[in-house]
Structure 1
Amino acid sequence: MRRFKFVRDPDPEEVGENIEQFLHWLDGPGCLLLTGEDSSRTRALVTLLHGNEPSGLFALYRWLRSGRRPAVNVVCIVASVAAALEPPLFEHRMLPRARDLNRCFRPPFDDAQGELAEEILELLRLHHPETVVDIHNTSGSGPSFGVCCHMDRQHDALVSLFTQRLIVSDLGLGALMELSEQQRPTVTVEVGGRLDEEAHELAFEGMCRYFESEDVLRPAQTDWGLELLRDPIRLELRENVTLTYAEAPCDNYDITLLPDIEHHNFGGVGDDTLLGWAGSEATRLFRAQDAGGHCAVSRLVRIEDGNIYPAQPLKLFMITTNALIAHADCLFYAVRDDGSTICH
């Protein structure tokens, strides 16, 4: 592996006295191999695919400093160290002009991000982990949730180590969790906002359960049941559409969204909930496609007298108030308010 720094069972004093020293110690993508009490099995943890999503890294650093030993071997992959270190610390999702690393886990692997994704896949093949957990932060402040492509008890069990919400979706974006196989369950866990102390704590507590449990593929006896959301639809911006966030319409932008729109994360919104303002037809501004490949914009939003409303009662999540992320990725995901698929 050309890019990776490999360290087996690092000494707690070796990894630095704070998180920034830990990043400089890694000095690029890192693969940390932790020896478990049972060395016949291996699990994998992936974190920092995005340089501005630090909760998983904070949790891993805290674990390493504690000197604890996992129940089984764990291979820990820390990816976008350079982006995280780019000043200011933890502000950059990826380096300028680089692709989103969590859209690169499918061919072609023909640029730097693609090659890094390919090396991560090779590491996973090499170590044959029984499970893979990929820890992220949400782009805005909001509740935690897990995402997987396969609906079964094993994926349920993995997600329930961290959170009480599970989204089942196979959008085909090139994300790491899309490579999940029945013999290697893979989940993404979004632990909450990147600036939220609660998200950092949830990442650590979930990581401790993931590292220390003898069996992570059997549903645990938690005090919560999983809320299940199926096949969400992404609302995206069309190219060259301008966006801002403000308390009133901004004439110089095609779309103005309310700055507190992220407060609707995982909450139900009625068809009379004001989301923002726009100066054109919805289909000229937005893109959305359902599982059948049909345009779904009219089922997500409507524009009436310049006001943007949900087209029907919906449950929204992964809402962002970062215009750069909205342009590069999407504005939000949506299902019907009862958690079901938005059908054609």
Structure 2
Amino acid sequence: MLTELNSLPEDLLQVEATELHTILPGPTLIHLPGRQGAPLFVSILLHGNEDTGLKAMQEVLKKYQNASLPRALSLFVGNVDAARQGVRRLEKQLDYNRIWPAGRDDTAPEHRMARKVTEIMAQRGVFASIDIHNNSGLNPHYACINRLDNAFLHLATMFSRIVVYFTSPKGVQSEAFACLCPAVTLECGKPGGKSGVDHAAVFVEGALHLSDFPKHPVAKHDLDLFHSVAVVTVPETVSLSIGAGVSDLCLEERIDQYNFRELKTGTRLGRVIDENLIPLCTRNAADLDISDYYFEIKAGELMTRRPVMPAMLTRDIRIIRQDCLCYLMERLGTLPIET
């Protein structure tokens, strides 16, 4: 599935994500030389409807069309087929941000492709990894890491003081590369926003100019650190609507406005038909269903059972079905740095 190139394809810096299929046959890894040899790895379009990464890299690379990059760059362009249709993934596809090596022996072509990319970058001595994403709800720009390590935190806070540490879901790109180098996922708000493109472009260019990572810890006043403790999904057997309609679960019209807000106990999230059944599946890092710990039903309303902060709440039912409703986070007051 993987195409490997040593130069930019003609027109790559001009095309829209929906047009990439005209110049790339599918997932493509592009290596470009730079003044410092250890390459920066950047992955874009793991989800086909998240085009901020493409636009940001076009901005960066246009600046260096007639000059050397400060550091070698390996650019991975992911789900070209889904990008053609402007969707997260095609119905028959695996999620391109759940296919990366995690100590398993999956034999699907997508898993083999992701493993090959990881092996290539390990051989090239990758310097750092950046995975650029959008989300579909109202969220601030923030960074995600899979290790509580000084280098990872320094890289993340170059993008945002809001940093989310997570260990689930498995199979994500940043987790695979965390074994090789400092790795970060950027969440750049909704697709189509110029501020997300500009923010990601400035960050990538800054990373290209890095020669090393500081050894000292990030100052506490420069960091708002959260831990992702659970992922919330809506089972396929539960009918779903937003704002109005008759369904097993009808979420609040502006549910995504709860993102990155510390919700109090008793916050209303929606209406339910069956008052005896919580219509959510809330799984922690041990893959245990802990829905009753965070949610309860009162008088036909879905409520929070304790204080919690959600992220990535979305009003897009298709994305809820393909991925999740949200993640639940708690603030990390202390910083247990890994060694």
TM over 0.5: yes
The match for 1:204 among 190, 201, 205 is 201
Alpha-carbon deviations, 1:87-141, whole Å to 9, x = none?
A: xxxx211122111111111334333332332332233233220221111112323
Is residue 13–residue 61 contact of structure 2 (8 Å, CA) maintained in 1? no
In the TM superposition, residue 290 of structure 1 has moved relative to its aligned partner by: 2.7
In structure 1, the partner of 2:166 is: 169
Distance in 2 of aligned mates of 1:284 and 1:313: 18
Is residue 20–residue 80 contact of structure 2 (8 Å, CA) maintained in 1? no
The match for 1:32 among 27, 30, 33 is 30
In structure 2, the partner of 1:213 is: 210
Aligned partner of residue 103 in structure 1, secondary structure: coil
Are 1:256 and 2:250 counterparts? yes
Aligned partner of residue 37 in structure 1, secondary structure: strand
Q: 1:183 to 1:25 in 2, by over 3 A?
A: closer
Aligned partner of residue 121 in structure 2, secondary structure: helix
In structure 1, the partner of 2:266 is: 272
Are 1:98 and 2:97 counterparts? no
Q: 1:59 to 1:102 in 2, by over 3 A?
A: same
Once the two structures are superposed, the pairs formed by residues 225-236 of structure 1 within 5 Å of their partners are 225-236=222-233
Is residue 130–residue 185 contact of structure 1 (8 Å, CA) maintained in 2? yes
Is residue 146–residue 178 contact of structure 2 (8 Å, CA) maintained in 1? no
In the TM superposition, residue 59 of structure 1 has moved relative to its aligned partner by: 0.7
Alpha-carbon deviations, 1:129-176, whole Å to 9, x = none?
A: 022111111232311222222101111011112122111121252111
Distance in 1 of aligned mates of 2:213 and 2:50: 24
Is residue 71–residue 214 contact of structure 1 (8 Å, CA) maintained in 2? no
Q: 1:25 to 1:182 in 2, by over 3 A?
A: closer
Distance in 2 of aligned mates of 1:3 and 1:235: 33
User: What is the identity, as a one-letter code, of the residue corresponding to 2:88?
Assistant: R
Distance in 2 of aligned mates of 1:299 and 1:283: 14
Is residue 238–residue 248 contact of structure 2 (8 Å, CA) maintained in 1? yes
User: What is the identity, as a one-letter code, of the residue corresponding to 2:68?
Assistant: R
Size of the aligned set, in residue pairs, is: 329
Distance in 1 of aligned mates of 2:160 and 2:55: 18
Alpha-carbon deviations, 1:314-339, whole Å to 9, x = none?
A: 11111121112212221111124x55
Aligned partner of residue 118 in structure 2, secondary structure: helix
User: What is the identity, as a one-letter code, of the residue corresponding to 1:19?
Assistant: E
Distance in 2 of aligned mates of 1:98 and 1:15: 24
In structure 2, the partner of 1:186 is: 183
The match for 1:326 among 299, 304, 320 is 320
Once the two structures are superposed, the pairs formed by residues 1-344 of structure 1 within 5 Å of their partners are 2-8=1-7, 10=8, 14-20=11-17, 24-39=22-37, 41-66=38-63, 67=65, 69-86=68-85, 91-106=86-101, 107-181=104-178, 183-216=180-213, 225-246=222-243, 248=244, 250-251=245-246, 253-281=247-275, 284-336=278-330, 338=331
Distance in 2 of aligned mates of 1:177 and 1:94: 19
In the TM superposition, residue 231 of structure 1 has moved relative to its aligned partner by: 3.6
* Long gaps (5+) in structure 2: 335-339
Distance in 1 of aligned mates of 2:190 and 2:219: 23
**Which one is further off, 220-229 or 152-161?**
220-229
Alpha-carbon deviations, 1:246-271, whole Å to 9, x = none?
A: 1x4x22x1111123111111112222
In the TM superposition, residue 226 of structure 1 has moved relative to its aligned partner by: 1.7
Q: What is the percentage of aligned positions where both structures have the same residue?
A: 22
Aligned partner of residue 134 in structure 2, secondary structure: strand
TM-score (norm 2): 0.87
Is residue 150–residue 217 contact of structure 2 (8 Å, CA) maintained in 1? no
Distance in 2 of aligned mates of 1:297 and 1:167: 21
Higher relative contact order (CA 8 A, sep 6+): 2
TM-score (norm 1): 0.86
Alpha-carbon deviations, 1:261-306, whole Å to 9, x = none?
A: 1111111222232211111257552111334554321222221111
Distance in 2 of aligned mates of 1:223 and 1:290: 27
Distance in 1 of aligned mates of 2:178 and 2:16: 33
